Amino acid sequence: MPQRGSASGPQYNGISPPNLDLPWPESPETITANLLKLTEAVENPRTKFIFSRLITHLHQFVGETSLTTEEWMTAINFLTRTGQACTPIRQEFILLSDVLGVSALVDGLNNPKVSGGTASSVLGPFFTDDAPDVTIGDTIASEGMGEYMYVEGRVLDTHGKPVPNATIETWETDSEGFYDTQYSDRTRPDCRGRLRSDEEGRYGYRAVVPVAYAIPGDGPVGELLTHLNRHNMRPNHLHVSIEAPGYRKLVTALYARGDKWLSSDAVFGVKRSLVVDLKVVDNEEEARLRGFPNGKTFKLLQFDFVLVPSEEAEVARQKFVVGKAKI
């Protein structure tokens, strides 16, 4: 707290009172109307549009539900605790966005399906920017992290041409259903890596078979799901993000067929085209050729990712938002 006589307290921001005839806020309707009038002073058209709609819908929600003071304080305390649960490697607010379906909704609005293009999926709260660089054929998982899996395929454009030198980021859980960031003794990244496609668009790397897992239940979001009588499970999946100049960035995930949580994913990330088969390879020679040091059996995941050219993606997005505000 600033000491008496200190000049370190809040300072006037220099903005003059609005030149508006605002009635006294004696009624709920007047409060909303006044706030919308004040929002007209926002200079950026997109910002003005977003906040006018946010105010309108938020105030409508409060009115339609006759929200009590106690309920609103409960919501404020929940959001406060959500923010307090965030750390540099834990993003509780992304998790909240995910379980409310907002992440999937924003993803769907911004990445409409383009014929032939690989479908997108939610980023999730466990991406980090410290993935190690690996070459084709290397492993993203240290030994003992789970059942062996080899992932391979090509990165192509919508016309079937290879996309060389595409940056591929990939991350997954270990066999216990945990990401490396969930371990308190994490000293380095594991079960994640970054590689590039070759001249023919090919990629390949060793990994482990991901497993279904519970999203963190020790924070406010976990409490919310329990309160809403919803499960907190995600089906097993492998995250992949691909970037290449001239193409829309692809953030997606591949989901193993047969997982019982596929149709009720807690964060609404599964799409039919992203459900894949894992082929069982029981051949010791093949396992050694793939670089697996122990055992003779591994799972093989083969998938070709199709990137959409940036211009084509923007045309699709504009068509998708016809009838919706585009300000």
Residue 102 lies in a domain: yes
Q: What residues contact 200, with CB distance under 8 A and at least 6 apart?
A: 154, 162, 164
Q: What is the pTM of this model?
A: 0.88
- Domain enclosing residue 271, as ranges: 97-316
The answer to whether 146 touches 297, Cβ cutoff 8 Å, is no
pLDDT score for 105: 94
Question: Stretch 289-317: mean pLDDT, rounded?
Answer: 94
How many percent of the chain have pLDDT more than 70? 96
Round to whole Å and give the CA distance between 57 and 209: 43
What are the residues whose beta carbons fall under 8 Å from the beta carbon of 16, sequence distance 6 or more?
none
CB 221 within 8 A of CB 83: no
Q: Are residues 58 and 182 in the same domain?
A: no
Measured from the Cβ of residue 278, the count of other Cβ atoms closer than 10 Å reads 20
Shared domain check, 106 and 226: yes
Residues 55, 152: one domain? Answer: no
Amino acid found at 4: R
- Average pLDDT on 265-279 reads 97
Query: Which pLDDT does position 251 carry in this prediction?
Result: 98
**Would you state the pLDDT for residue 316?**
85
Task: Name the amino acid, one letter, at 200.
Answer: E
Question: Is residue 13 included in any domain, yes or no?
Answer: no
Structural domain total, the chain: 2
* C-alpha distances out from residue 96 to 58, 85, 262, 278, Å: 18, 11, 20, 31
pLDDT at site 6: 56
The stretches of 42-149 forming alpha helices (DSSP H) are 45-65, 69-84, 92-99, 102-110
- Is residue 130 one of the residues assigned to a domain? yes
Is there a single domain that holds both residue 134 and residue 223?
yes
In a domain, 325, yes or no: no
Per DSSP, the residues of 164-228 read TT-EEEEE---TTS--GGG-TT--S--SEEEEE--TTSEEEEEEE----EEPP-SSHHHHHHHHT
Residue 248 and residue 152 in one domain: yes
CATH number at residue 142: 2.60.130.10
Q: pLDDT band for position 2 (50/70/90)?
A: low
Are 116 and 72 found together in one domain? Answer: no
CA-CA-CA-CA torsion sign (133, 139, 144, 148): positive
Asked whether the beta carbons of 177 and 214 are under 8 A apart, the reply is yes
